[in-house]
Amino acid sequence: MAAPKAVTFDNFGTLIDWEGEIQKEFSKILAKHGITGVDVKALQRHWENRQFDYIQEKYRPYKEVLKNTLPMAFNDFGYPFTEEDCIEFSESMGRWQPFADTKQALLELKKYTKIVLITNTDDAIIKESVKQIGVEFDEIITAEQAGAYKPSHKGFHLALERLGLDKSEVLWEI
């Protein structure tokens, strides 16, 4: 492959510390209810599976996904939560922090090619998240814009259309 004209990234888990930030949020909720010593990593992984199944049912705004799937996972483990906890969790995602090397790596890569986000989230969340990263992307494709979550290819097709590129000219990080 010749040097790509664009490189795509998923945001959460690739640029943003998805697992660590979810674990922090869950720990905060549990501590608020006096629960300590929990394997939050297991809870986070279980929640991921629940939310992945939930987003495959049909497209819903991602804040709704976050709000509705926290109770599923917490109930499965018998952990207490409130409606306020669900709302706070759904509002937290845009503030989740990037990995320490994210900004510098993207700035370096941007010298050579276009950088593109293709993310399973909504426009409002990604707008906040991009502020956390501190880098301007050449294009951002959200599940909200595509009307579908990955693994659907709708977001990838939308990226190609907006970039005016052939799929062979793009390095895809899924």
Percentages helix, strand, coil for the chain, rounded to the nearest 5? 55, 10, 30
Tens-digit pLDDT profile for residues 35-85:
999 999 999 999 999 999 999 988 999 999 999 999 999 999 999 999 999
Tell me if 132 sits within 8 A of 18, measured CB to CB. Answer: no
Query: Backbone dihedral region of 3: left (phi > 0), alpha (psi from -120 to 50 degrees) or beta?
Result: beta
Q: At 115, which CATH number?
A: 3.40.50.1000
The neighbour count for residue 56, using CB atoms within 10 Å, is 12
- Give the chain's domain count: 2
In this structure, the answer to whether residues 162 and 116 fall within a common structural domain is yes
Of the candidates 118, 66, 73, the residue with the CA atom closest to the CA atom of residue 96:
66
Predicted TM-score (pTM) of this structure: 0.91
In this structure, the answer to whether residues 71 and 84 fall within a common structural domain is yes
In this structure, the answer to whether residues 88 and 107 fall within a common structural domain is no
In this structure, the answer to whether residues 45 and 57 fall within a common structural domain is yes
Predicted local distance difference test score (pLDDT) of residue 174? 67
Domain extent, residue 39, equals 18-95
Q: Has residue 99 got a pLDDT over 60?
A: yes
- Residue 1 is assigned to a structural domain of this protein: no
In this structure, the answer to whether residues 123 and 77 fall within a common structural domain is no
Tens-digit pLDDT profile for residues 109-155:
999 999 999 999 999 999 999 999 999 999 999 999 999 999 899 99
In this structure, the answer to whether residues 133 and 81 fall within a common structural domain is no
